[in-house]
Structures are given as structure tokens and as C-alpha cells.
Amino acid sequence: MSCAKYDVFLSFRGLDTRPNFVSFLHKELDRRGIRTFKDDEELENGQRISPELNRAIEVSRFAVVVVSVNYAASPWCLDELVKIMDFEKKGSMTVLPIFYGVDPCHVRRQIGDVAEQQFKKHEDRGVDHAKVLSWRLALENLANISGECSSKWNDDSKLVDEIADKISEKLMIVRTISNGRNIVGIDKHMKNLNRLMDLNSKKDVRVVGIWARGGSARSALAKYVYQTSSKHFESHCFLGNLKLISQGRYFESHLHEEFLKSMKGECSTSTQGLKNQKVLLVADDVSKLKQLDALAVDYSGFGPGSVVVITTQDKRLLLSHGVDNVYEIKFLRFQKVRRTIAFKKRDIFAAFESALYRAKDFATECFGCPTSTSGYEKFC
């Protein structure tokens, strides 16, 4: 959703979870800077959802639906759920169900106190039969989505951390792709990079270098390549803090540990487990030859069809390491967009960080651009 105002919309029955679980979850999401909508009013029976609440659902990326024992007793919650599942069906919202103190099988089959008896009460009160059917269908569809069940956790704080971790990871992917789409000429860049990466190849490990000016745009491109290409590989890894990892006397072992820790996919806990696998490794902002040499120890064992993508502002590193497939971009930049001034603490920090990136990019363009080296393909 391109115009999302909130990252998360919380749907819950206040009677069951407002003072405890939902309060803890909202606090943790807010602590992580995840913009979360939590309504603090409880509607009486017969009241309709306000236009503001409807709008909050429409402008949220994710919905966390906390199904508790009295969730289906609330027409308000059920109306919310119908709207949420409608957006989920259209693909404009991601839904994460939390089955709190209830059995998801009972919710799916709509038996017992959590569903069947609640819906019967609604019909006894004269609620339109078609409306009750729409509530039932929405609840059934929700229960068919993989979520979290509180009975599998002995501590609510651990469940809260797990939910916050999942949302943070999903948001990172969404924001990465969004940032990548804001790069000028991104479709052309990806077409050329896909040709160099040759994702359908079954040959030995293919190493592709990306040289571009502008640290923030280059990193955004690296993350975009990773997020859009990783689905083609059995295991994949993004290393974006090489400068920090490479500090110290024993940086090789630190880099290896970070490599294994960041690897995702099948058998990704050891270098041995990655042998004969098709692996994607993206190493962003490489600044020293010793970093490439250390990485080569790990990726030399990758299986056929594997791809290693290296981004740097120093073309000589790629030449010294013997990288033949190099994508050179003279001017990599974001599209100019109109920005409004915001006064929230995190927005002020983001504005400062953006200004810092721009200053670094300007310095790089003015003082840090090595002369062109023959043998490299150039793309503007």
C-alpha cells in the first residue's frame, strides 16, 4: 500500500486483551518505531464503526488480529474483520492472526464458545442472517492464515517479541522494495543486472560487481536486488555492515560468523551445509580487498547457479579481485519527491539521517570517484 499511514492496525476485543497482551504488544511496536493504530474506545452493541476507524484500516500495511474468547461476541470486531479480510483478499494488506487463549481449530471449524455460541446469540438478537454469514466467512478465512497461538508460548513477553520481530522483518522488505522503486531508472538497472546475474544458469558461482556513486542509493539498489532475487535461490544472505564487521584483529572469523548468522534458507547453519546449494550472497559497500578475500573462502563452496553480488565505490577492488561481470552506473540517484516537515522524534531523526546520506553522496561525487578503468561496462 503506497499511501500507508500506519504500519499496523490492531484488531482485538478490549474486554479480553486490552489491559494486558494488547497493551504490551502496542508498547513494543511503538518502541521499535512501528506506527500502530490501536483504538481505545469500546463500541456498544448496535453502534457502527466510525469513518475514522474504517479509514485507519484502509491506510494500514498490516493487520494484527487478536482472536480471544469473546472476540466473535463483538459486532464491532467482526465488522472490522470483514473489512480487513476484504483488503487481504485484494492483496493490499497482510494479516497476522494471533489466537490468544483459543484453539485455532475451533475458530476454523466455528465450534464451541469462541464462535458457534456467539454467532447464535447474534442471530437471536435479530442480526441479519446474511451479515452473520459474512462474519462467519471472514473468521474462517482468518483462521486459515498461518499465525501465532498463545498456548505454544509460556511467556507473553516472548510472544510479543516474536510478533514484533516478524512485523519488523516484513516492514524491512516492504520499505526496501519501496526505496528501490524510487531509484531513477530502476527497471533498466534491474534488466541489465538480471542479464549479468543470469539467474537460470547452472554453471559455477557467478560474481557480479556493482560500482556506483552515492552510498544511500547504492545500498538501496543492493537491498532491492536481494529482496527481488532471493526467491530464486535455496539459501540467501545479505551483508550490509561490512565496514563494522571488518574492524579488529580477527575480522575474518567475525565476518564468517556474521555470514552464517545472516544466511537464510535450507541447511544454512554451516558452510558445509551450503555446498551444492544454489545460494545468493549480496555484500554491500565493500571497501577493502581483504573483505573480498575473506568472503571468497565462504562462497567458493557454493553450488552451481549461485550468485555473489558485490557493491562498492572503488572500482579497483573489483579489478584486483578478478571480477569480470561489473555493472557501472555513473549517476545513481533517487527520484526527487516533495517532503513535508514532521515534528515527531523519529521523523526528525529520519530527516537528519537523510541529510547525512546526501552529504556523503555529494562528498563521494566530488572527491571519491576513481578514474574509469577499461574493461568495465558502463550504464547511465
Nearest to 291 by CA among 326, 321, 331: 321
Given the residues 42, 58, 80, 123, select the one marked as catalytic: 80
Q: Do residues 82 and 128 lie in contact, with contact meaning Cβ atoms separated by under 8 Å?
A: no
The CA distances from residue 144 to 11, 108, 299, 342, in Å, are: 17, 7, 39, 39
Question: Cell 541447511 appears where?
Answer: 267
Question: If DSSP codes are grouped into helix, strand and coil, which group holds residue 261?
Answer: helix
Q: Rg for the chain (alpha carbons), in Å?
A: 25
Q: All 3 cell numbers of residue 271?
A: 558452510
Q: All 3 cell numbers of residue 303?
A: 553450488
Nearest to 160 by CA among 28, 340, 66: 28
Q: Examine the residue annotation and report whether 328 is marked as an active-site residue of this protein.
A: no
Q: Do residues 262 and 237 lie in contact, with contact meaning Cβ atoms separated by under 8 Å?
A: yes
User: Which amino acid is located at 135 in the chain?
Assistant: W
- HSE, CB side, 13 Å, CA atoms: give it for residue 186: 20
Q: Do residues 92 and 1 lie in contact, with contact meaning Cβ atoms separated by under 8 Å?
A: yes
Active-site residue set: 80
